[in-house]
A and B are shown apart, each in its own frame.
Chain A
């Protein structure tokens, strides 16, 4: 994402959104930001794990990081 169209996102541009299928429930898909930065190489099928992004006190948003990276 290079532009969000929503207020409050300009300071985190550019950011990456990933479409994630849960290992525990195939076909259930959810969306979230990938916290590894905009330049990390990505391919469909890459494993991710859930993370939480603390946006402000009391507000944590589910997000993802690539799994299996040092």
Chain B
């Protein structure tokens, strides 16, 4: 039996909107989401939609009070504030919110649960320390990590990156190539928080070490920002103003070995990540060599190494050599342009939105001065290869 997604290339993105990405927006997150959603619906040539999906997680370990419409925006909140009684509204729970929620949008359209689905992602930067937490009791799994002082995403990523550095003899200079590439491309993007602000390798290496071996610019910067995309069937897409970009397949992470909270050993990431990749290639019916627009997730820079290797773009342990040799320089015609959209490091903490947006803009031929010829297959990754996922996009149905 074929593992190809039955709905492969039957659902397409037909419009989008991306807000300006700022450290702190002037409006509340909800107001920005309403405005961005309206722009996306109009961009698709529509008056309204009947489906809403998102993954609304507020990705902070800090002790902030959370409120729908302020720190996050759920699908139902957005539908209500657009004045729509939706036929379908749902949220993806867990990591990899972008591929998770896109898969729900595809399934809703393919099943007929909705005809036009708005996918959105709204991300908020609260006042005060992003991850600072005043909790004084640890329960459940955290009783084995918090008293030890093991807490938060920086610690989570420092451990597997340290394993990678030691196991494969990678240098800090190699990772500078990843961050410089993200910021180079982000500097070219008008809506990015880093617009016109490229970073040099010297600046990367001189920045403070936060949790060894993670430096300041290995981390994306928290922002306020919203992106929205409209998806509908390939049949309906033909009558809409913009060239459709088809969803060829998707995959989310496979079952994961049980660990302590935020304990992500390198072998877990890679073993499960390879399976995530295998599912993606099967669902889309393609191989890595057919991808001309890979967009890898980079919320922490080491994820770029992990995705390069998990998806088979280079052998295990070789990603650091590939990037150090200019292998991901989007200005070189022979390189893999894995951060041509700037990623999260080059746009701000928009999760996997920059990867999805770059796939859409390039495959719809809407990237303006950044247009990279006529790429045919893009993939947009989000989160870690083991907990996250990826979506394959195509410029033409196949």
Contact = CB atoms under 8 A, between A and B. Distances in A.
Given A31-B144, A44-B166, A4 B259 contact: no
| Interface residue SS majority, chain B | loop
Interface string A29-64: 111110000000001100000000001000001110
B155 to A, nearest CB: 7
B136 A7 contact: yes
B163 interface: yes
A22 interface: no
Nearest to A29: B265
Given A2-B209, A31-B260, A31-B263, A44 B151 contact: no
A43 B131 CA distance: 29
Contacts of A7: 133-134, 136
Nearest to A17: B150
B132 interface: yes
Contact of B148 (A3, A29, A31, A44): A31
A32 B163 CA distance: 16
Contact residue range for chain A?
20 to 34
A60 B131 CA distance: 26
A26 to B, nearest CB: 12
A2 B211 contact: yes
Nearest to A45: B166
Nearest to A63: B148
Contacts of B288: none
B145 A5 contact: no
30 contacts: A1-B149, A1-B155, A2-B210, A2-B211, A2-B212, A3-B210, A3-B211, A4-B151, A5-B132, A5-B133, A5-B151, A5-B152, A5-B154, A6-B146, A6-B149, A6-B151, A15-B149, A17-B155, A17-B159, A19-B159, A29-B265, A30-B144, A30-B260, A31-B144, A31-B263, A32-B148, A43-B166, A55-B147, A61-B148, A62-B148
